[in-house]
Amino acid sequence: MDFLKITKVENVTLEKGQVTTIGTLHLTTHQMIFRQPYQKDEIWIPYPIIHTVERRSSTADTKLWPLIIRCRDFKTYPFFIQFEQDSIDVFDTIQKLTCIDSISQVYAFDYIPEKEFSSSDGWSVYDVYQEYGRMGVGITAFSWRFSTVNREYTFCETYPHTLVVPAKISDTVLHHASKFRSKNRLPVLSYLHWHNKASITRSSQPMVGLKKNRSIQDEKLIEAIFRTNVPSLPPGLLSVYGSTQTNLIVDARPTANAIANAALGAGSENMEHYKNLIQTAEAQCLPIKKQNLDKSNWLKHISTLLESCLIIIKNVHIASSHVLIHCSDGWDRTTQLTSISILCLDPYYRTFRGFQVLVEKEWVSFGHKFSDRSGHLSDEKYFINSVNANAANTAFNTVQSKFYNQSHVREISPVFQQFLDCVFQILSQFPTRFEFNEKFLIELHYHCYSCQFGTFLCNSEKERMDYKVTTDTYSVWDYFNSNKSDFLNPLYDGGAEDKEDMGNNGVLLPDEKNVKYWAALFNKQDDELNNNDDIEGFTTPIRWKSDSPISRTESPGTGDSDSWKNGLKPFSPLKLMNYDDNPDIVP
């Protein structure tokens, strides 16, 4: 309560489109609440969801002091406060409670559900031995083994404590091989295909240096990976799909970033040192400046991700090829490609429980930087005091241009959002092949930003252990599993996923050209975004105002008024920014 300069402001005006409402604004430690008289519903705004707050001078006609709150879920709340001092106190309080110093200060560590969840096994949804055992490791696939070389996180701080590696490779070789990879994130098993035991492995970029150095241990590790299962398929079958039995290394870095990283000692594998083993492919995740969504080519990026995954899927399932995927550090683009690909390859991950395992395994355990990418720790530069400025828009744009150049801001990126968007596209194309529905994806995305649960806190498994996240917070899966009926897809046909009788039917091949805007992501109706006005196969983008990175062309509204404390608010934030400055942030 020490940070709360003010806890209650009465007679606050909120503009909702063409409707003006007067109510009371309450400020608590973790969220602000707007209550209207004689209304049951409340508007909850958790502080982590706030993108920018701008305080403006009083209006000449109303003599009220505007406080404009723009959120990461595209909602804008124009509050008008009667007294200047109240507007100052509200501004200062929100700033102090939003710009926190430690992840331990977020709501998750204080959150207690009004009613205890009926399901409480959220933190044990993913068990590394059980999941890789399901794939056959140690049971039918003896070419792989579990390694606890990282049990104390001293081997690699951003990797999980237990890794799956080729059985022929000792921990000593792993230690030497890790030195050749950025952040010590050496190649390890991500997925073993049920159909042919072809593998998908993941890593960070190789550190070959300016002199094109090599690592015998790294080469030995990759060779062992590619020899864990040697396919013997008819060449005629493979040629139908344009594939070969050549194993594949997917370098998911944009070309410009790979060249820039080479100057820092990173680079691509020297093909001569991996002769007869691999084929290099580049996933075209091209970075651009996203000032406005209509200039971002968002759908083209979604399409490119799906196209890249199709290459991986066909190589694994049809060509029985082993695929190694890496980007710069192996926690952004790499995770997108592995998770989308294995979602299409294995029907288990399209079940309600299996998808939770997928997110925990590929995103949480392998160190996707959720806190950094989601902006859980905000910054004072997001708070704009335009009072006494010549023009509010000028002040906003000036400050905006400054904080977009800050390093901490460049860490924010919609990497996980792109993954969920791709899942939505595949769900739309194959509506009977997913046990969960669209609402599940939307709420999952929202809770990446809400900080109500501990699942998406911190940047690695080690950090979550240091902050005692699993013991001091609730898992988001407890919430979803306790309300499972709300998130089930009534069209789901589980019988179509029977591996004993499905042949190739268990593998999905999404159409990368058949993509559309995820209307709910932008808090809009489908017909507002997806019409017949297509350009080169892509729906015409949304039009955005030029004075704000998140404002909409329509009048700002408050959207759903369900209580945030119940874990609802199914709307999704999108951070529009410059991705060129960080080589490992996905466009």
DSSP labels, 11-72: EEEEEETTEEEEEEEEE-SSEEEEE-TT-S-EEEEEGGGEEEEEE-PPPTTT--EEEEEEET
How far is C-alpha 466 from the chain's CA centre? Answer: 22
Residue 483 has pLDDT above 80, yes or no: yes
Select the highest-mean-pLDDT range: 51-60, 144-153, 212-221. Answer: 144-153
- The token pair at 63 is 């003599």
How far is C-alpha 108 from the chain's CA centre? Answer: 19
- The CA-based angle 456-509-374, given to 5 degrees, is 20
Q: How many CB atoms lie within 10 A of CB 400?
A: 17
Q: Is 65 annotated as a binding residue?
A: no
Give 33's strand partners.
26, 44
Per-residue pLDDT, averaged over 84-110, amounts to 96
Active site residues: 327
Q: Is 379 annotated as a binding residue?
A: no
Give 25's strand partners.
9, 34
- The token pair at 385 is 């005091």
pLDDT of residue 533: 52
Cα 52 from Cα 411, distance rounded (Å): 17
Q: Is 332 annotated as a binding residue?
A: yes
Cα 457 from Cα 296, distance rounded (Å): 28
**DSSP one-letter code for 273:** G
Cα 38 from Cα 488, distance rounded (Å): 35
Per-residue pLDDT, averaged over 331-358, amounts to 98
pLDDT of residue 275: 36
Residue 166 has pLDDT above 60, yes or no: yes
Per-residue pLDDT, averaged over 97-102, amounts to 93
Contact 305, 418 (CB under 8 A): yes
pLDDT digits (tens, 9 = 90+) for 368-382: 999 999 999 988 888
Contact 90, 81 (CB under 8 A): yes
pLDDT of residue 73: 78
pLDDT digits (tens, 9 = 90+) for 384-439: 998 865 544 444 554 444 444 444 556 888 899 999 999 999 999 999 999 999 99
pLDDT of residue 526: 83
Q: Is 328 annotated as a binding residue?
A: yes
The model scores a pTM over 0.85:
no
Mutual angle of helices 333-345 and 415-429, in 10-degree steps: 20
Q: Which residue has the higher pLDDT, 192 or 548?
A: 192
Q: How many CB atoms lie within 10 A of CB 482?
A: 18
Average pLDDT, the chain: 80
DSSP string, 398-458: HHHHHHTTSHHHHT---HHHHHHHHHHHHHHHSTTS-SB-HHHHHHHHHHHHH-SSSTT-S
SS3 137: strand
Percent pLDDT > 70 in the chain is 74
Cα 42 from Cα 23, distance rounded (Å): 10
With DSSP H G I counted as helix, E B as strand and the rest as coil, what are the percentages for the chain, rounded to 5? 35, 15, 45
Q: Is 331 annotated as a binding residue?
A: yes
Strands 42-46 and 50-55: unpaired
Q: Is 410 annotated as a binding residue?
A: no
pLDDT digits (tens, 9 = 90+) for 264-294: 454 544 434 433 333 323 332 322 233 345 5
- 494 φ, ψ (degrees, to nearest 5): -65, -25
pLDDT digits (tens, 9 = 90+) for 56-79: 999 888 899 999 998 887 778 999
Residue 115 burial (C-beta neighbours within 10 Å; 0-12, 13-18, 19+): exposed
Give the pLDDT band of residue 500 (cuts 50, 70, 90).
Answer: low
pLDDT digits (tens, 9 = 90+) for 546-582: 222 222 222 223 333 333 333 332 222 222 223 333 3
Contact 49, 31 (CB under 8 A): no
- The token pair at 426 is 């595949």
Contact 141, 192 (CB under 8 A): yes
pLDDT of residue 151: 97
pLDDT of residue 421: 96
Residue 258 has pLDDT above 60, yes or no: no
Q: Is 267 annotated as a binding residue?
A: no
Contact 189, 165 (CB under 8 A): yes
pLDDT of residue 465: 98
Cα 41 from Cα 23, distance rounded (Å): 12
Contact 320, 198 (CB under 8 A): yes
Question: 422-435 as b/e, with b when 16 or more CB fall inside 10 Å?
Answer: bbbbbbeebeebbb
SS3 552: strand
Give the pLDDT band of residue 543 (cuts 50, 70, 90).
Answer: very low
- Where are the domains positioned within the chain? 8-99+380-408, 122-374+411-523+559-566
Architecture of domain 8-99+380-408: Roll (2.30)
pLDDT of residue 95: 95
Cα 65 from Cα 476, distance rounded (Å): 38
Select the highest-mean-pLDDT range: 40-49, 185-194, 372-381, 531-540. Answer: 185-194
